[in-house]
Chain A
Amino acid sequence: MTHSLHRKGTIENLNSDYVIIAMLAAGYNDKIPSIKKNHFRVGEILEKHGPVNILRKAGWGISSVIQACFDDIEKVKNILIELKKEELGISIVVSGLVSEIKKITTEIGLTMHTVHLSLGEFGKKSELPLEKVLEITTMCGHHCVSSQSVEYYIENIKKGKITIEKAAENLTKPCVCGIFNTKRAMNILKSILEDYK
């Protein structure tokens, strides 16, 4: 799933947006009971480090992924240190700024194994919503957050009908994966509203 790959944004605001995915490999380790237990253990470690959002616990073990998003590369580093120490054997992917991930993996003695790079989008780009709207909607990797809901909340924030915090919270709800970064959405909404002043 490319769902955490094509998150749009500037280097500045992407620096508060990291997704960690723990995935079982179908046909390799997904049916081994000890590995499934380790998978839950990864979820506990992610939870412990204060994610902005995380796949709800009721979903752990239903599909092959457990994932969360964080607003601080230091949290990601501390998580990787713990995962490396515990040797749980689960594939771990970090989605975010390559330069920052490269730095922390080097610091803690991990080797980047495989990378999924984004070349961005092509085709009828004129039909896409505004870039800032996409910065919010692309944080739900399955595209369950509609562009018109972002537009709706911007209008209602301007009219004083809803706070930025509540709007960001509502925008988070359609994303079932737990990787929509509510804090970053708030900051992007703030910057959109600044542009209107």
Chain B
Amino acid sequence: METLIITLEKCIGCGQCVIVCPTRSIKLNDDKAFIDKNTCVECSTCYRLSICPVNAIKKERLKMPRLVRNLFSDVITPHKLTGVPGRGTEEMKTNDITNRIGFSEIGFSIELGRPGLGTNVGEAEKFTIPLTKIGVTFEKDNPFTALIIDNKGHIREDLKNEIVLSLIVEFKVSYEKIPEVLNLIKRLDKEINTVFSVGIISRVKEDGEIPICDLLTRSGFPVRPNAKINVGLGNR
């Protein structure tokens, strides 16, 4: 894995790389571009787009802990664990085959940093520690779950200060624990140091009813009009 640098001798200060950076980490100083290594998430978008007219953007070898930025931010890098590029998992997309989420449970995908602000990895502990107390089941095939090191929800210490484009805290709960999770979301809405997007995964009844919608609306969580729907065409 490689980190990104701009070869200053080559840079002509055109600013094209500044425009494309998803985290605004490339800046111009004295007509030369430089990458702010504190905020750069190693997504490689600037490099991948080949927008530099003089090929000034190069990659150098990357190691842990900084490597985690690339693993969670570079859309081209498939995770060793999941084989899925980027930071996602199958979630509900193959639920008609895997039955990851059954009728008596609800899945949550809480994506810290989305849309587009990024997040410190350590910020996720504000979720993982209380979620562990609630008694959720974290998705084992999610790359982020592999960073939780104990049964109290702590995250690897060496990775906490690394910044990523986003990470997904993915888990499921039984119906009776949903109010606790929703209360946690309400609390962290005010306390989190980034943004997070919340997704809810539910089986659909044969008559088309989505049982969880009513509870969400009554709890003060209006559901957006667009969603992802597995239409049941997969089979084993």
Contacts and interface: CB of A to CB of B under 8 A. Distances in A.
A155 to B, nearest CB: 11
Contacts of A56: none
B18 interface: yes
A128 to B, nearest CB: 6
Interface string B163-196: 0011010000000000000000100110011111
- B contact patch SS: loop
A118 B223 contact: yes
Contacts of A177: 75
B136 interface: no
Interface string A92-104: 1111111101100
Interface string A78-120: 0010011000111111111111011001100011111111111
A21 B93 contact: yes
A90 B233 CA distance: 6
Interface stretch (A6-14, A46-54, A157-165, A182-190): A6-14
B226 A118 contact: yes
B18 A92 contact: no
B115 A134 contact: yes
B233 to A, nearest CB: 5
Q: Which of B84, B141, B229 has the most CB of A within 10 A?
A: B229
A70 B87 CA distance: 24
Contacts of B109: 2, 5, 116
A196 interface: no
B18 A148 contact: yes
Contacts of A115: 92, 201-202, 204, 210, 227-230
Contact of B231 (A113, A116, A118, A125): A113
B201 A116 contact: yes
Interface stretch (B30-38, B94-102, B153-161): B94-102
A145 B165 CA distance: 12
A25 interface: yes
Contacts of A147: 116
B67 to A, nearest CB: 18
B125 interface: no
B235 interface: yes
B20 A110 contact: no
Given A122-B185, A124-B195, A5 B90 contact: no
A146 to B, nearest CB: 5
A80 B75 CA distance: 28
A123 B188 contact: yes
Given A8-B115, A25-B234, A128-B195, A112 B228 contact: no
Contacts of A146: 19-22, 24, 45, 116
Given A25-B98, A115-B227, A120 B114 contact: no
Q: Which of A96, A121, A137, A144 has the most CB of B within 10 A?
A: A144
A143 interface: yes
A174 B206 CA distance: 39
A3 interface: yes
A138 interface: yes
Nearest to B189: A122
Given A83-B233, A89-B234, A116-B92, 11 more contacts: A91-B94, A92-B233, A111-B206, A113-B203, A115-B210, A119-B223, A123-B195, A128-B115, A128-B195, A142-B75, A173-B49
22 contacts: A1-B89, A2-B114, A2-B199, A5-B228, A25-B97, A26-B90, A64-B84, A65-B84, A84-B233, A91-B96, A111-B231, A111-B232, A114-B202, A115-B227, A116-B200, A117-B210, A118-B198, A121-B196, A124-B192, A127-B195, A137-B116, A152-B19
